[in-house]
Every structure is written in structure tokens, then in C-alpha cells.
Amino acid sequence: MEFILIIKKINNTLSEKESLEFDQWYSESKEHQKYFNNVKNNKDSKTYIFDSKKHWGAIEKSTKNKIKPLWKFYGAVATIALLLSIANLSGLFEQKNITPEIFGNKTIESKTILTLSNGKEVVLSTDKVFENSNIKSNGKHLAYTYTEENDSIHKEIEYNYLTTKRGCEFSLILSDGTKVWLNSESKIKYPVAFIKGKPREVELIYGEAYFEVSPSTKNNGAGFKVINDFQKISVLGTHFNVKAYQEDNVITTTLLEGKVLLKNTRNEKIYLSPNQQVVLSKSTSKIKLQDVEAQETIAWIRGYFNFNDITLNEITKVLSRWYDVDFLIEDKEVKELKFNGVLSKKEELGFILKAISNTSNLTYEKHNKKIKIKR
């Protein structure tokens, strides 16, 4: 049944045909009745936004790529649109040139570790500037500089590592001018300085990163590669996102601008064009190409979670990484409950949990850093 019929029932605007459809659905089970009453009782709550015309319209006016809501309810398993902090969504998917300082929630303590080539670990913090001959960090982002002197010094490639912990994001400018945004709980390996005449190569060891690659024309024709244990991405100058978390069964690579070549461990190759995404299975190495709204993929850079037909099980993985908590969902059907929507990363976790509860027939229990979600 269309979710909008529930709203029409509350507002007493059902047609005769719609009224029959609603009555049939309502009488099918106590779960349906409980769900309807939950919507009705929470319709004016800040954490229950259900006016599709008003709120989806607000997003559509402020975004280049339209987001299409799915307002459907299928028995005990729902597809529900959940929208939070609509006032903060202006320009969400419009920006193309992103500066490294625009991450969303910076009230969380910095948990980023820089590992130098000699093995020394440096905790990057906003209350302490870190600087050496060619590196500078203000605790929000890290920048490397290139000089001819550095090039003569670094005859052999030296590598640094940048690791973000739960609840932290960080940005990085490599010595060639390539910009990298690292999502929470991610790790990347990269050269301190790229060597003239040698390919530029970095390794996303795990996690998620967005790249704006300095073109080969500015780097003596040298291409750029992003590798991990399962795939290799070759580019000349482009913008793309790679998501490769350890606990996920797939790796997704999404192209925003330019063109890239992706190769798996079977030596199979596939080219991506803008607004295309490759999903690679870790277990089989099989690759699948699909069309997507690429700008929505990098909502995390602008301070938002963007969930598009995502199961609650997948949503809790994202929330775990950002809020540094662990979720337990024992009911398999609850795990597969799907949501669509945009949530601000500036919101407190309690606000989001209440929103999920108010938008479904679920409850939650919180014990320290462990949260149990159930019917």
C-alpha cells in the first residue's frame, strides 16, 4: 500500500477507492494498526517528517540531481522515507569543487593517526599544529608540498599512512596536488613525494575515500592509480569515490567526472563513465556496472548520510563508524527493513534513533556503546 494513503487517512482526504484500499490493509493485522497509530501519534514530531510534497520538494529545489522518494509499505517489511534537518540540505548535491574544510560534524574528538615512513605515529589534533619540511596539518586536513629539492632527496619512494578512527573524517592533499577525502574508519597508504617519471600510485587499504586527481598534464604525463587487494583503478585526471570497508562483501567504485579503467584480480577490465558505478564481489571478483546518481554517493563529504533503499543492517554499519557504537539486531526481518532518506551527521545519535523508532514499529535499548534494536 502507498504510504501516502496513511497520510491521507490522517488528514481525512481519502477517495472512496483509496478508503477501501486503506481499510483492507488496516484490517489485515495488528502490526498494520500499530504502525498507523504510530504515524498518527507522531505526525507533528520533529523526528517524524512525512510530508512528501513539502520536504521532498525542498530537496528537489536545492539539488541538481533529483531524489525520488519511495513511499511504500509491504506488510511487516517497510520502505520508509526518513528525512532529517531539511533546512540544512540547501545545495547538498550541487557542489563540484569541494574544499577540504567542509566536513559535517566536527564536535567529535579528532581520531586521525599519521604514520610516518620511519614508523613514528602522530596523532593529528585541532589543538596542535603538526609541521615538518614538506607536511603541514591543522588537525582538520593534511597537506604535502612538492619542490625540486624534495624530488632530488626522494630518489626512493617513501610512504606515509593516514588512518581515521570511528567518528572522524579527514582530508589530504598529496604532493602532486591530488585531493583525497577519507571517511571514518579508513586507512590509506601514499608516497611522501611522487618521483618524476614513475607512476603515481596510492593504496586504499580499507574504508572509503573520494579522490580529485591532479591531471597527468600537470605531472609529466604520469597516470594515477588507486589499488587494493581486489582491484586496480587507473586514471589520468578525474573525480571518483571508492568504498572498500573490511566488513563489506563488495567494493563500490563510483565515477563523478572523467574516465577510469578498473581491473580486477582476474585481469578483467571495465571502463567507467560519469554517473556509473562498478560493484566488485570480494568472494568471486565478479564485477557489475550500473548507472547511479554519483553526486549522492559523496553526500558524506558534505556532512550527510544519504540512504537510498538501504537495509537497516547496512545503515547501522554506517552509524557505528560515525558515532563509535555497536548495534545488535537479532530479528532477520528487522535487519532487512529498508529506508530512504537524508540524515544530517550533525544530529545526535539519540535523535536519529528516535526518528527510526518513530518512523517504524521498532524500539531500541542503549547500554553504554551497545544498542539493541528490536520490534
pLDDT at 372: 96
pLDDT at 84 over 50: no
pLDDT at 205 over 80: yes
User: For the chain, which domains are there?
Assistant: 3-92+304-374 (3.55.50.30), 112-292 (2.60.120.1440)
Distance CA 251, CA 245 (A): 8
pLDDT at 203 over 50: yes
Residue with more model confidence, 8 or 89:
8
pLDDT more than 90, % of the chain: 46
Query: Roughly what angle, to the nearest 10 degrees, separates helices 16-28 and 3-10?
Result: 110
pLDDT at 192 over 70: yes
Residue with more model confidence, 161 or 108:
161
The model's pLDDT over 47-78, given as tens digits with 9 standing for 90+, comes to 443 333 333 333 334 433 333 322 222 222 33
In the chain, where does DSSP find H-type helix?
A: 3-10, 16-28, 30-42, 52-62, 148-153, 294-297, 312-323, 332-335, 349-358
pLDDT at 95 over 70: no
pTM of the predicted protein model: 0.76
pLDDT-based confidence at residue 189 (cuts at 50, 70, 90): very high
Highest mean pLDDT out of 60-69, 124-133, 183-192, 366-375: 183-192
pLDDT-based confidence at residue 148 (cuts at 50, 70, 90): low
pLDDT-based confidence at residue 25 (cuts at 50, 70, 90): confident
Please state the rounded mean pLDDT for residues 96-120: 65
pLDDT at 143 over 50: yes
pLDDT at 212 over 90: yes
pLDDT at 170 over 70: yes
pLDDT at 12 over 70: yes
pLDDT at 118: 93
pLDDT at 115: 96
Averaged pLDDT score across all residues of the chain:
80
pLDDT at 285 over 60: yes
pLDDT-based confidence at residue 110 (cuts at 50, 70, 90): low
Q: Which residues contact 4 (CB under 8 A, 6 or more apart)?
A: 52, 71
Please state the rounded mean pLDDT for residues 251-265: 96
pLDDT at 72: 29
Residue with more model confidence, 337 or 165:
165
pLDDT-based confidence at residue 169 (cuts at 50, 70, 90): very high
Residue with more model confidence, 4 or 137:
137
pLDDT at 1: 58
Distance CA 263, CA 138 (A): 36
Highest mean pLDDT out of 8-22, 30-44, 272-286, 358-372: 272-286
Residue with more model confidence, 202 or 13:
202
pLDDT-based confidence at residue 179 (cuts at 50, 70, 90): very high
pLDDT at 213: 96
pLDDT at 365: 93
User: Which residue in 230, 225, 228 sits closest to 281, CA to CA?
Assistant: 230
**Residue 4 near residue 50 (C-beta atoms within 8 A):** no
Bridge-based pairing state of the strands 269-272 and 276-281:
unpaired
**Residue 352 near residue 307 (C-beta atoms within 8 A):** no
